[in-house]
């Protein structure tokens, strides 16, 4: 991608109406643009990051047998009335049509997926089953002040599974937990798994996946020695106590962002929609459901909260908008184009800053945007031989002069 052709611009200063680092940096660096509180447009760089995270999530959901669908965001009120959500869910956006009919914007999709699966599944032989989607969710959040951490429109992966027995459900539940930990680690994040109550859904146990960050809105208590972790909201322990699991660790408190969670929904929705299958003996079974969410746009924000410095964002390679940020300084454009084409031909994702700007401006933008590798082609590098470029990692200071071939081999290794 050639920088000179992009319609977006980085900003010289941080937006004054944003309080969190994620929103300040993502807006300043031109990844997103705020339409109103909690609602953002994704610009070319931002969309590339979002797509990368989505691809990681998709891969891990496919690997455990999830089937991807895309469900409507606009939904009839009747489905929500059937489960009681219409009156009980405060964040539900409600829309009145000019025909007088009521609609809701999906804040989660149990009300759509349950009747959908019911319409296809007839026999116990059709279960178990796991269906997921990656889609915008709409929630009338009161405090949408944390940038992409808390949107009123935000990107989520939500999966729903249907099982004949509790044992089968628990087996799948464990599989999803493992897949989630893989997702976070592939995105450069370390998540702690808390034990939490099932929220409004049931009194069953659920798990939250918490990433430690001061920008997060949750408080957790965790053991630094073992994996034990709990949300302070429901905790009976406090900082300094001995860990109830390993007994030896001293519990600590931390701020965290919930990057995902998994719920045991029991038979709440299958009963609400009268969705049952007949077992071998012709007996009715209401399937047990699980639901599993990953906050994709919240993860993007969490990554920025964790990986930045005073100059800008430092993307982990797995979710970076580009693999390489190529900077050409004046007089070296022709040579830079040769390098650019060679890298693109090798299948690399390259942002080429080919603008007529000063070296200072270009370097500042490279640091702000945060692509993991910066390459510079200049008269200085050209004097050292054609095809020589300066290689520098965003996360370090070391500058090396290497050949274009070496760049390709390092990045395709």
- Distance, CA of 307 to CA of 325 (rounded, Å): 18
- Distance, CA of 296 to CA of 69 (rounded, Å): 17
In the complex with ligand ATP, the residue whose CB is nearer, 141 or 354, is 141
**Site for ligand ATP (CB under 6 A): which residue of 293, 321, 372, 387?**
293
Q: Is 264 in the site for ligand ATP (CB under 6 A)?
A: no
Closest separation in Å from C-beta 357 to ligand ATP = 35
For the chain, how are helix, strand and coil distributed in percent, rounded to 5? 35, 30, 35
In the complex with ligand ATP, the residue whose CB is nearer, 196 or 314, is 196
Closest separation in Å from C-beta 214 to ligand ATP = 16
Residue 154 bridge partners (DSSP): 137
- Region near ligand ATP per CB under 6 A, out of 60-68, 96-104, 236-244, 293-301: 293-301
Q: Which residues of 154-172 are buried (b: 16+ CB within 10 A; e: fewer)?
A: bbbbbbbbbbbeeebbeeb
- Distance, CA of 235 to CA of 232 (rounded, Å): 5
Closest separation in Å from C-beta 78 to ligand ATP = 22
**Residue among 15, 50, 47 at smallest CA distance from 295:** 50
Q: Residues, the chain, total?
A: 413
Closest separation in Å from C-beta 266 to ligand ATP = 16
Q: Is 161 in the site for ligand ATP (CB under 6 A)?
A: no
The CB-nearest residue to ligand ATP is 295
Mask for 342-381, x = binds ligand ATP (CB under 6 A): ----------------------------------------
Mask for 105-134, x = binds ligand ATP (CB under 6 A): ---x--------------------------
Backbone φ and ψ for 257, nearest 5 degrees, come out as -110, 130
- CA 226 from centre of chain: 26
Q: Is 268 in the site for ligand ATP (CB under 6 A)?
A: no
- Residue 323: cis peptide before it, omega within 30 degrees of 0: no
Q: Is 194 in the site for ligand ATP (CB under 6 A)?
A: no
- CA 173 from centre of chain: 20
In the complex with ligand ATP, the residue whose CB is nearer, 260 or 370, is 260
Backbone φ and ψ for 118, nearest 5 degrees, come out as -55, -35
Q: Is 28 in the site for ligand ATP (CB under 6 A)?
A: no
- Region near ligand ATP per CB under 6 A, out of 17-25, 289-297, 376-384, 391-399: 289-297
**Site for ligand ATP (CB under 6 A): which residue of 75, 79, 261, 388?**
261
Mask for 135-154, x = binds ligand ATP (CB under 6 A): ----x-x--------xx--x
C-alpha neighbours within 13 Å on the C-beta side of residue 365: 23
DSSP-derived 3-state class of residue 319:
helix
Q: Is 54 in the site for ligand ATP (CB under 6 A)?
A: no
- Distance, CA of 227 to CA of 232 (rounded, Å): 16
In the complex with ligand ATP, the residue whose CB is nearer, 89 or 371, is 89
- Distance, CA of 297 to CA of 31 (rounded, Å): 12
- Distance, CA of 183 to CA of 200 (rounded, Å): 26
Closest separation in Å from C-beta 297 to ligand ATP = 6
Closest separation in Å from C-beta 38 to ligand ATP = 7
Residue 309 bridge partners (DSSP): 312
Contact residues for ligand ATP, defined by CB under 6 A? 108, 139, 141, 150-151, 154, 156, 258-261, 293, 295, 297-298
């Amino acid at each position: 991608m050639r920088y000179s052709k992009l319609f977006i611009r980085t900003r010289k200063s941080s937006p004054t109406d944003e309080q969190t680092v994620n929103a300040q940096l993502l807006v300043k660096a031109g990844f997103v643009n705020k339409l109103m509180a909690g609602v953002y447009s994704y610009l070319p760089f931002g969309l590339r990051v979002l797509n990368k995270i989505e691809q990681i999530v998709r891969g891990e959901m496919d690997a455990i047998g999830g089937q991807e669908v895309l469900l409507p965001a606009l939904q009839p009120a009747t489905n929500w009335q059937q489960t009681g959500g219409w009156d009980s869910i405060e964040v539900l956006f409600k829309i009145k049509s000019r025909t007088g009919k009521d609609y809701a914007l999906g804040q989660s999709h149990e009300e759509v997926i349950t009747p959908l699966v019911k319409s296809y599944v007839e026999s116990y032989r059709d279960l178990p089953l796991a269906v997921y989607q990656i889609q915008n969710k709409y929630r009338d959040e009161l405090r949408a002040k944390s940038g992409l951490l808390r949107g009123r429109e935000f990107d989520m992966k939500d999966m729903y599974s249907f099982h004949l027995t509790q044992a089968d459900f628990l087996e799948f539940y464990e599989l999803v937990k493992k897949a989630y930990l893989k997702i976070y680690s592939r995105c450069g994040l370390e998540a702690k798994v808390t034990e939490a109550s099932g929220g409004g859904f049931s009194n069953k146990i659920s798990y939250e996946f918490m990433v430690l960050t001061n920008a997060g809105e949750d408080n957790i208590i965790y053991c630094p020695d073992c994996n034990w972790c709990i949300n302070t909201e429901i905790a009976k322990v406090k900082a300094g106590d001995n860990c109830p699991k390993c007994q030896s660790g001293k519990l600590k408190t931390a701020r965290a962002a919930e990057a995902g969670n998994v719920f045991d929904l029991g038979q709440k929705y299958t009963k609400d929609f009268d969705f049952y299958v007949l077992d071998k003996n012709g007996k009715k079974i209401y399937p047990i459901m699980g639901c599993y969410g990953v906050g994709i746009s919240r993860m993007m924000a969490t990554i920025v909260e964790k990986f930045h410095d005073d100059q800008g964002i430092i993307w982990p390679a797995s979710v970076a908008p580009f693999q390489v940020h190529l900077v050409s300084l004046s007089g070296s454009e022709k040579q830079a184009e040769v390098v650019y084409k060679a890298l693109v031909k090798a299948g690399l994702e390259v942002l080429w800053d080919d603008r007529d700007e000063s070296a200072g401006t270009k370097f500042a933008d490279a640091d702000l945007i945060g692509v993991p590798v910066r390459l510079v082609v200049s008269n200085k590098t050209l004097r050292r031989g054609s095809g020589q470029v300066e290689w520098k990692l965003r996360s370090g200071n070391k500058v090396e002069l290497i050949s274009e071939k070496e760049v390709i081999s390092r990045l395709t290794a």
